[in-house]
Chains A and B, each alone.
Chain A
Amino acid sequence: MIQKVSRINNSKSTLLLYGLIAFTVILVAYPLIARAQMAAPTDREVTIVAHQFEFNPSIIRVNVGDNVTIHLRVADVPHGLYIDGYELNVHFIPLDDGPNEETLNFIADKPGVFRYRCSVPCGNFHPFMVGKLVVEPAYEFPIASILAILFSAGMVGFMWRSKPSTPKPPKRINILGNSLVRRLLRSRYFQFTAMFISSIFFLLVILTGLFGTPVGNENFSIIVVWIIWWGALMLFLVPFGGRLWCTICPLPSYGEWAQRGALTQKSESRHGLLRKWPKRLNNIWLQNFGFLSMSMFIGVFITIPMATAWLMILLIAMPLVLSLVFKDRVFCRYLCPVSGFIGLYSMAGALELRVKDRQVCREHIENDCIRGNERGYPCPWFEFPQNLDRNAYCGLCTECIKTCPKDNVAVNIRFGGEDLEIEPWGGRKKRGLDEPWKAFIMLTLSFLYGLVFMGPYGWLKNMAGMKTVGEWVIFAGLVWGTTLLVTPAIFYAFAAISKRVSGATEISRRDVFKSYSYALVPLGLLAWIAFSVAIVLINGSYFISVLSDPFGWGWDLFGTTSYPWTPYFSLFVPYAQIVLLLLGLVLAIRTTYKISMRLYPNRQSARRGSIPIIIFFILFTMLLLWLWVGW
């Protein structure tokens, strides 16, 4: 009987797959038909009126080969227009007695979707003032979507056919095997030096933010924090180094140094009240809420230097105050809004700290790693290294590398990992809903931020930029509502379908939902990488000019102040984004399958149960593809 029921359900999910394939066919057909119906190239005249911070119209459609003339007018202040890929640029500086428009003429010889953006600094949201030029036939979105579905189908076929095997441990290379690295990480001077150097940049961010020019793109603070730091974090540090940023982060440094009363040495005494963190707050909900609170004001933080400076002051004052009251890295572990998502995505990162042999730890009852010794402090992140099986809350602070007398700590470069599939600490703690919600928050915001900052919608920018209180309230509602309610609710529905089609009865819907939510991590990470690639390549050149004039006071320290805004590889950005998003999908599906195999009692139900989740990922990937390369 059970067999029969599940067969019916199985055919249902197959039906869904067919539905998707049909959808694909329509997607393929559209541009083909469009091309077939396309008229011969003609002359196109478009008048674009630019105002803060939107082009009107913000989406232009032409056919490949058209002779396009853009008449650029402005409604408030001088603006410009730069077309990605075509690398065309026109400035319109309207003089009192001058012409009322500037024209740009070109042959639209490259099909595809191209962003055009303002090229004359026009106010705080200037870097995000964009429109879309669609040169038909634009194949990127349909082809990428087809690839998404084909890859998914291929992976399903491949995984279905693969023989059941015991999961192999991932390949690992212990970098402490290198004697130089080992000596470096065992030295007490290493972390001090790293934090000290980063604190110099940090202080310069605060100073430039407070006293520098209000023009964001000419101020060191905005460029370094939101382009350079963010780009380094998302493109390099997190995917390749996991929590590597936490090793050098300057935010908790002053607090930690004060509490220890030492900088480069191991001290025997501690200062402050040294309270323990309340047990009921032993989760990352505060980080979730902190991140969302910050996100409500994101349009202000990333455009106004003064706001960035005050955010940084807050983020350094908080750990300082907390370290007077609580012992060790309470701020990092439970409160830092950045730590929350670094921890989440570090689970997909390629660097991990683990013990080499658990048996050695079990027999070593002195536990220097959690008691500390003359060489180092007890783990400031409240971890017990021998139980580490996920990257989430290991801050790579290198204390246990120093304290372990058995030389049993390894820092591994790894290929693959099972952080996303397992319970923390070998099951000694059950996963709560805090981490799943972090995953929802981050995945949702990767889309929402893309829509706000890189989408052709001025009204969204007005909301995020707090143009009026009413508009901002809507934005805040969007930030909290979509991340905490909408995405989780939709995912819950897919998880419920998963449980139903799996035929498994002995497992709760909540567990299905919770376990699968970890598969959001690789897609979310790659979605952020896709976002960051665009930010760094298009606006990274500002860094060259602020380096010579960090305050925007007219300095020219290195002779690069007048380096103009130069988008790099703007033609390739969308293609890079497609590749990244498809990679995210593939990794998410792989994770889904591995989670399924642990979640459900047998392979049959695991396979069936993973289909609805895979469909969710295909749909979400298509949403992201639409955001970046859609019409």
Chain B
Amino acid sequence: MKKIEILALLLVLSVPVGMPMSVFFYQENIFRQPGVIQVVARQWEFEPSTITVELGSTVSLLLTSADVVHNFVILNYSIDVTLYPGKFTELEFQADLEGQFEIDCTIFCGSGHYEMSGLLIVTA
């Protein structure tokens, strides 16, 4: 086989192998910051629905929505972030109140809106 054929074959094979690998690498090693919790809002739940953090720690969240506009509200922490579908918002706060706090969506987002909630648990 000619050298150029081998080169072409390597090129062709490099795409289906290399592309998923580089995507995975970028996502895991460059984009994703350690300690950041990704939260996806969708009709009608937050995923994960329970976030557990330590008292006094700095909480980093990456928030998004997977269908329609929602928001991410924790009343006691004065947090209120609007989440547009497919768009991401970073949120950082100090977990300085101990206890369990409800995470709410206060934007009307369909028939299950009033059941949509999550939980922030701050432990000592």
- Enumerate chain A interface residues (CB-CB to B < 8 A): 74, 76-78, 93-97, 120-123, 192, 196, 199-200, 203-204, 207, 213-215, 217-219, 257, 262-265, 551-555, 561-562
Contacts and interface: CB of A to CB of B under 8 A. Distances in A.
B4 interface: yes
B5 A219 contact: no
Contact of A94 (B2, B64, B108): B108
Contacts of A196: 8, 11-12, 15
Given A203-B16, A263-B12, A553-B31, A215 B106 contact: no
B85 to A, nearest CB: 4
20 contacts: A78-B69, A78-B107, A95-B107, A97-B106, A121-B86, A122-B68, A192-B8, A196-B11, A200-B15, A200-B19, A207-B19, A214-B66, A218-B86, A218-B87, A262-B5, A264-B8, A265-B2, A553-B31, A554-B31, A554-B62
B69 A120 contact: yes
A196 B87 CA distance: 32
A208 B16 CA distance: 13
Interface residues of B, number: 35
A199 B15 contact: yes
B101 interface: no
Nearest to A546: B86
Given A196-B12, A204-B19, A263-B12, A123 B67 contact: yes
Contacts of A78: 68-69, 107-109
Contact of A121 (B8, B15, B69, B109): B69
Nearest to B31: A555
Given A95-B108, A263-B5, 6 more contacts: A77-B43, A77-B110, A120-B69, A213-B85, A218-B87, A554-B31
Contacts of B9: 263
Contacts of B88: 553-554
Contacts of A200: 15, 19
Counting chain B CB atoms within 10 Å of each CB, the highest count among A93, A199, A204, A562 belongs to: A93
Given A93-B69, A263-B9, A219 B87 contact: no
A214 to B, nearest CB: 6
Contacts of B64: 213, 554
A97 B26 CA distance: 41
A422 B111 CA distance: 60
A555 B26 contact: yes
Nearest to B19: A203
B27 interface: yes
A143 B111 CA distance: 46
A213 B66 contact: yes
Contacts of A561: 87
Nearest to B84: A121
B12 A553 contact: no
Contacts of A97: 106
A16 to B, nearest CB: 52
Nearest to A192: B8
A121 B12 contact: no
B8 to A, nearest CB: 4
A290 to B, nearest CB: 25
Contacts of A263: 5, 8-9, 12
Contacts of B2: 265
Contact of A257 (B4, B12, B31, B108): B12
A265 B2 CA distance: 9
Contacts of A262: 5
Interface string B81-111: 0101111100000000000000000111111
Contact of A215 (B19, B20, B67, B108): B67
A196 B4 CA distance: 14
B23 interface: yes
Counting chain A CB atoms within 10 Å of each CB, the highest count among B20, B64, B88 belongs to: B88
Contacts of B11: 196
A561 B84 CA distance: 13
B115 to A, nearest CB: 13
A258 to B, nearest CB: 11
A562 B12 contact: no
A122 B88 CA distance: 16
A120 B69 CA distance: 8
A257 B9 CA distance: 10
B60 to A, nearest CB: 13
Given A123-B67, A203-B16, A552 B106 contact: no
A219 B23 CA distance: 15
Counting chain A CB atoms within 10 Å of each CB, the highest count among B5, B86, B111 belongs to: B86
Nearest to A542: B86
A555 B64 CA distance: 12
B5 A264 contact: yes
B37 to A, nearest CB: 13
B122 to A, nearest CB: 24
Contacts of A203: 15-16, 19
